[in-house]
Structure 1
């Protein structure tokens, strides 16, 4: 637990130090901006090519070719999902939640991009529609679709429950889904499971202790989060055992519901769209 009171006295210039204005670490004005109008125009006449229903407390994988769209939709009741994305041809290139957070902030919405890990570091998916964008930030500092949480996992569960074993947490769900999709044994598939986009989850940090919190998701049946695949993607989505995460996760008692993943092929790619190439850094590292 964090100390409730500091052990050291404040220096005489404490107020002045605290009053220094913050500086944005990564100004993104120089990044190429997605042409949302072109992306949305490409929906006209699109064809649904795949539909995957993710059962409660389970995960399923799916494939999205570059230039296609996919949607995650709430279909029966409030439910959050943990999303992993990989390059369909190279599991070593995967979603990088930390850098995505550094570029776009703690929570994602329309126009934000999901970036891949080093040394690839390129946009792999762009959010093109978010029916929960009205939520913004609430009075507690909470918002939806976060890239600050990791994923519920059996290791943390074992630590907090004195060795308790639980296998339907999102980390294990995603491991099973990736193992089934690739044929990798679970212990090999597990190392490719990574920090997630917490779809529909409502989260933030407490202002007094800085602790990660969750609260009941505002998602309702019919709400969706839509993405455009910038590269060929392999995805996996876990319908979290916490349900709407209003009370706990890694739970057999929370009310849980399925999530629907749909993949759509446009008649033509968005006007002017070009798949992102390799990152421009030469990887010599000054040597």
Structure 2
């Protein structure tokens, strides 16, 4: 519980609170994808790979630039934690903080996932989302957040007085990345990063500002689809919290597999080229 404020409000407190907010990164100044040019290709997609991610575990896959991939709910309500990397350079990876700043707390149709500094470029574009009907609910919850960090064994140990739990998403992702790259667990772990919480329904409480989760609306047949802007290595964990209606890092929650499908398109979006790395010259004023 947060402490009660001890500082008396100033005389102009109401005026200060009434100041209108300003959007930090206005969308009209951002380069946005021509979504229609991506979506016109969807009717001719050819399935080239399918990867099943077992419950409370993780798996990896690769997606060449210009291909599509989908994360699919197949058997039950289940959320997943997604890491994305440049397939040729693990130091370029999904930057959820900047993706959040440029798109919002939750991502969906037409949004792009951005990579880390110094590249800072679109890695993937969301081209279809069967949960786009959900929007924001009365609690302020929405799906597909770039807020949460991932359930991890360190926070679990901190809050449980040292209990050791290994099937959390951080550990799942670490094992899968190690298997994909040949790196040891110790070498792979620093590359695991904050995730896109696929299908997870989250928000912030209005009274305390705390991050909350609630039962995901995802059902078998739902999917989130991406277009790979660069060659990608993806790693996905099926969260041990299942649909995250009660807890994560759980051995009790009902958990289900997720399916990853990789598709080849018959052509490329009109005028599309893989995005170049960011144009900043890295001089930093010197």
Quote the Cα distance in structure 1 between the aligned partners of 2:84 and 2:116: 11
SS at match of 2:237: strand
TM superposition shift of 1:42: 1.4
Matched with 1:159 is 158
Give the structure-2-normalised TM-score: 0.99
Quote the Cα distance in structure 2 between the aligned partners of 1:273 and 1:2: 49
Matched with 1:105 is 104
TM superposition shift of 1:44: 2.6
SS at match of 1:51: strand
* 2:259 pairs with 1:260: yes
* 2:139 pairs with 1:126: no
Matched with 1:75 is 74
How many residues are aligned here?
286
Gaps of 5+ in 2: none
Matched with 2:2 is 2
Matched with 2:222 is 223
CA offsets 1:119-147 (integer angstroms, 9 cap, x no match): 11000000000000110000000000000
SS at match of 1:246: coil
Matched with 1:192 is 191
* 2:246 pairs with 1:247: yes
CA offsets 1:147-179 (integer angstroms, 9 cap, x no match): 010000000000011000000000000000000
Quote the Cα distance in structure 2 between the aligned partners of 1:30 and 1:7: 41
Matched with 1:180 is 179
Matched with 1:49 is 48
TM superposition shift of 1:270: 1.3
SS at match of 2:133: helix
SS at match of 1:162: coil
* 2:285 pairs with 1:286: yes
Give the structure-1-normalised TM-score: 0.99
Gaps of 5+ in 1: none
Quote the Cα distance in structure 2 between the aligned partners of 1:206 and 1:267: 45
CA offsets 1:264-283 (integer angstroms, 9 cap, x no match): 00011111111100111000
SS at match of 2:235: strand
CA offsets 1:231-278 (integer angstroms, 9 cap, x no match): 000000000000000000000000000000000000111111111001
